[in-house]
Amino acid sequence: MVSRIAVQCRQCGKHLVLRITISGGHQPFLFACPYCRSELRGRLSASPGKPFGLESEDFDVTDLQDNDTDVIAVAINTDFPVSLSSIEQSAEEISITPFIALVMELGDDVTMEVMANVEALRALREEIFPHVRRASSYFTRGDLNGTRNALQKAPGGDAVDFSALNVVSVLSHAMGLLYAPIEDQSLRTEAAEEWAKTLGEALRKDKLAVESLFVEFEKPLSEHRARAFDTALNMLGAVDSLISALFAERMSITPGIDIDRYRVMRDDFDALKIRYQDAFEVASRTLAFTGRVANIAHRGDVREHADGIACSFNQALNRTTAYKREPWLADFPVAKKLYDAMKRNTRNDIGHRLVRYDFESGTLKYEDGSAENYLLFLEDYLHAVRLTHHALDVCELLWYANEAVGSK
């Protein structure tokens, strides 16, 4: 639904019309005043059956006067990208909505597919997510009874036979439901199988070495697992960012669409950048665990990594950098695809905070002056979310293996 709201810029005092696509929830947005190019921020809150609320410290909601001619209308979209050509138009001009314009570009089938995932994301966020988050919080504190109770209260949870199932695998299944609308199931499964194979190989080759590795892992692994769950749930909880990202991804792979001609007005870079960094860090630290196991499986020496460098577990986990762990992915060619996808467009500078969001161009500006469309960052962000699922898969299989060797 598109709503037309007349507002007055507090900087230049001129009137403009916002054509806001109301998608629900909290919609923080940011755009340039079409007259004075001042930065205008607003926040729309909409929930079904209630009047929406619009707040801003940069403009006031007003009525248009009869003598207001040549008023410019600005199309505000916080979920799907809008073509630059349709962002600023005369308020009198009758034009197709930005969504219809996007459907014409993407085609019916692709749009329907993305919209089905968007609907699923919103419904899961509402119905399942709070239960899964509570269950995860019990689990990461080591309380399996609490985990079970929280899962039983989720929709459908009373039908689950917990006496026949491992509570950890039920939690993992519930997490999997949350990821389903945004991920490539086959690649994720293949990466988990690759990890299971390596773990099995290590156990077969040197069970004693794996057992003592688990003793060494114990505390750091429970901390790592808690961080992995936190990061994953923070990302999965912020569904609006994922929705923009799903559209951005489809647009960037659709032939004939020039993504630089599109923009979303989301005002969320500061929040996303932190989650992106968290995911990057969790994924990198995951390599300290998987790397040790691969060392036993492939080289028969827990200390010797794929790049030929030998180090202790503490060094691998705490006294190195993501850059130095990266070569260890040589032991995991499938998982490497997930890792590489996360920084296809985005540069490491985000980790060093040398990047800012430029609201006028809708780009991320790097310290050396180069720029990148925000939509491409969103695409990488989506891959970062997918990578957190792999980190959780790694933790889950380590949990089973640890139970199996009985060193717990």
Q: Minimum distance between the CB of residue 40 and Zn ion, rounded to whole angstroms?
A: 7
Tell me whether residue 35 or residue 366 sits nearer to Zn ion (CB atom): 35
Retrieve residue 180's tokens.
């389903």
Q: Which stretch, 5-13, 164-172, 181-189, 249-257, contacts Zn ion (CB under 5 A)?
A: 5-13
Please give the Cα distance from 19 to 372 (Å, whole number).
26
11 binds Zn ion (CB under 5 A): yes
Looking at the Cβ atoms of 73 and 251, the one nearer to Zn ion is 73
* Closer CB to Zn ion, 32 or 302, in the complex: 32
Among residue numbers 13 through 72, which ones bind Zn ion (CB under 5 A)? 33, 35-36, 38
Q: Quick one: 38 or 137, whose CB is closer to Zn ion?
A: 38
Nearest CA among 348, 356, 190 for reference residue 280: 348
> Nearest CA to 232 among 291, 156, 283, 288?
283
Q: Tell me which residue of 332, 333, 357 sits closest to 346, measured CA to CA.
A: 357
Q: Provide DSSP, 207-263.
A: HHHHHHHHHHHHHHHHHHHHHHHHHHHHHHH-HHHHHHHHHHHHHHHSTT--GGGEE
> What would the two tokens of residue 344 be?
């296809």
Q: How far is CA 51 from CA 21, 22, 46, 320, in A?
A: 14, 11, 7, 52
Nearest approach in angstroms of CB 148 to Zn ion is 56
Contact between 310 and Zn ion per CB under 5 A: no
CA distance readout (Å), 167 to 138, 150, 333: 12, 11, 30
Least gap, CB of 359 to Zn ion (angstroms):
13
Candidates 3-11, 305-313, 320-328, 395-403; binding stretch for Zn ion (CB under 5 A): 3-11
Spell out, one character per residue from 227 to 246, where the chain touches Zn ion: x when CB under 5 A holds, - when not.
--------------------
Under the criterion CB under 5 A, does residue 162 sit at the interface with Zn ion?
Answer: no
State which residue, 36 or 354, has the beta carbon closest to Zn ion. Answer: 36
Tell me how far, at minimum, the Cβ of 33 lies from Zn ion, in Å.
3
Is residue 9 a contact residue for Zn ion (CB under 5 A)?
A: yes
For Zn ion, the closer CB: 36 or 165: 36
Cα dihedral 203, 388, 112, 254, rounded to 10, equals -90
* Residues 80, 33 contacting (CB under 8 angstroms): no
Indicate the residue among 14 and 205 with the shorter CB distance to Zn ion.
Answer: 14
Task: Retrieve residue 177's tokens.
Answer: 């439901």
12 lines the binding site for Zn ion (CB under 5 A): yes
Residues that bind Zn ion (CB under 5 A): 9, 11-12, 33, 35-36, 38
